[in-house]
Amino acid sequence: MLGLLMGMLVCFVLLAVPLILAVCLVKLVFGLVLLPFRLIGLVLRLVLVVVGFALKLVLGALGLIAGVILLPLLPLLLIGLCVWFAIKLLTPKPALLRP
């Protein structure tokens, strides 16, 4: 009985080891073939992160500057709009000329 079990184990090892080696070899080949694309993806991801960070920084600074400068000018803008609407309402419309 023990001899049969050992024979089955030897057969299993003789069948499994080449399959395991073949799978490892295929994974290695695919890994080497796809390595340049993974490196390009890594570089592209790093560039996009840096550009995104710079864009966020610039837009945040512009928003802060716009808020600090334009927010105090908002009452003057409202007064100017009121004056413009009043002048627009009080000026008479020119008569339509017929040819």
| pLDDT, tens only, 33-74 | 999 999 999 999 999 999 999 999 999 999 999 889 888 898
The one-letter amino acid at 18: P
- What is the predicted pLDDT for the residue at 21? 93
| pLDDT, tens only, 2-23 | 788 888 888 888 888 889 999 9
- What is the predicted pLDDT for the residue at 99? 66
DSSP state, residue 91: S
Which sign, positive or negative, has the C-alpha torsion 14, 18, 19, 20?
positive
The band of 87, judged by pLDDT with boundaries at 50, 70 and 90, is very high
Distance between CA atoms of 52 and 40, rounded to whole angstroms? 18
Which sign, positive or negative, has the C-alpha torsion 60, 66, 69, 75?
negative
Distance between CA atoms of 71 and 93, rounded to whole angstroms? 35
